[in-house]
Amino acid sequence: GQGFELQQPQDKVWVTAGQTLTLTCTTSGDGPNGPVKWLKGSGSGNETIYDQTGSSSRVTRAMSGSNTDFTIHIRDVQPEDAGTYYCVKFRKSLFSDVVFQSGTGTEVSIRAKPTHPVVSGPDHRVRPGQSVSFTCTAGGFFPEDIRVKWLRNEALILVQQPHITPGSTKSSYDMSSTVVVALQKDDVCSRLVCEVQHPTLKAPLREVYELSKALRVPPSIHVVVDPPRPVEVNETVSFTCAVKGFYPGDVAVTWLENGMEMKVENNSQSMEPCGLFELRNLVEVQATAEKNGSVFTCRVVHDGQEPVSEMATLGIAAPA
């Protein structure tokens, strides 16, 4: 076997996850009896990837049956396939095969695309003026060179570099990026975007978070009496409760007369230009003498919060 040579020309190889990896190995000259194998890793911890008696269905010979070309294809590579591969000629001995000649090794790195980003916000709604953290996560990518941009209505927000940790496999990474946003009333119409850029991507991955999901805008309440002046006995008086500028639209309106709940069925709800809701609720009262000085209260419960109220008094003019 003195004229035998084994050539493993590839020093480093990059391949994208899901693609087929080709590992090149050729021999020349006469060698001793014994197989040529592909091993992943060196020393006692190595793993046989291919030997001439058979291999996994993912691994095939490029030149089946050749005695000089031992190039192999590994299909559907994944991040865990990263490592150093050796083409090795063995010499048969009495008890086991012995290494006769080994290639210099091919270092294989697997490029893996990040998963689509996920943006998470607070677990409860907050009022305008409060600052809230939002987190964007993505995982399973390689190499670790990843960039994250945050945009609020397409305006760039300056944030720190993403936090990168080892992934579920030893050759992948996970990423987490956090931004703190002070929410305002008009953010019910705003969008927060997490944009992820990675060498494996032709275009950035974008995930949109509607800030309305994190915001609660409490209503303003105003009770209007028509006519506003003291009225004559038996005249009809309208009390209108105007509930304005609230979000989300979940609101319950109750009328009370001197603290006792009234039956009212007259609601109308509309939306202001920036996604805020408004509602007008009307109750009509016959101005009898015994109702003089009665207090009518509009009680509003918005999105399960504590009730807020506004009241007005019915005034009846003394007879001339």
Please indicate whether residue 262 or residue 268 has the higher confidence score (pLDDT): 262
Task: Tell me, yes or no, whether 60 lies in a domain.
Answer: yes
Q: Which domain holds residue 174?
A: 118-214
**CA atoms of 231 and 313, how far apart (whole Å):** 12
Domain final residue, candidates 87, 110, 133: 110
**Residues 126, 195 within the same domain:** yes
Place of tokens 């399960």: 304
Whether the pLDDT of residue 320 is over 70: the answer is: no
Round to whole Å and give the CA distance between 14 and 240.
Answer: 72
Is residue 277 very low, low, confident or very high in pLDDT (cuts 50, 70, 90)?
very high
Any idea what DSSP says for residue 116?
P
Specify if 162 maps to a domain. yes
Strand order in the sheet with 205-210: 155-157, 147-152, 191-197, 205-210
Are 270 and 226 part of one and the same domain? yes
Last residue of a domain, one of 110, 139, 172: 110
Q: Residue 177: inside a domain, yes or no?
A: yes
Any domain includes 320: no
Residue 208 resides in a domain:
yes
Indicate whether 154 belongs to any domain.
yes
Based on the fold, state whether residues 104 and 129 are members of the same structural domain: no
Domain boundary pick from 154, 189, 214 = 214
In a domain, 37, yes or no: yes
Q: Indicate the number of domains in the chain.
A: 3
Residue 179 domain-assigned?
Answer: yes
* DSSP-assigned states of every residue in 145-205: --EEEEEETTEEE--PPPEEEE-SSTT-EEEEEEEEEE--GGGGG-EEEEEEE-TT-SS-E
List the CATH number of the domain containing 42. Answer: 2.60.40.10
Are 75 and 144 found together in one domain? no
Same domain, 158 and 234: no
Percent of the chain scored above 70 by pLDDT?
A: 98
Same domain, 85 and 154: no
Q: How does pLDDT run across 187-243, given as a tens digit for each residue?
A: 999 999 999 999 999 999 999 999 999 999 999 999 999 998 899 999 999 999 999
Q: Are residues 263 and 299 in the same domain?
A: yes
- 24 and 71 housed in the same domain: yes
**Are the beta carbons of 15 and 108 closer than 8 angstroms?**
yes
* pLDDT (tens digit per residue) in 59-106: 999 998 899 999 999 999 988 899 999 999 999 988 888 999 999 999
**Based on the domain organization, do 210 and 226 belong to the same domain?**
no
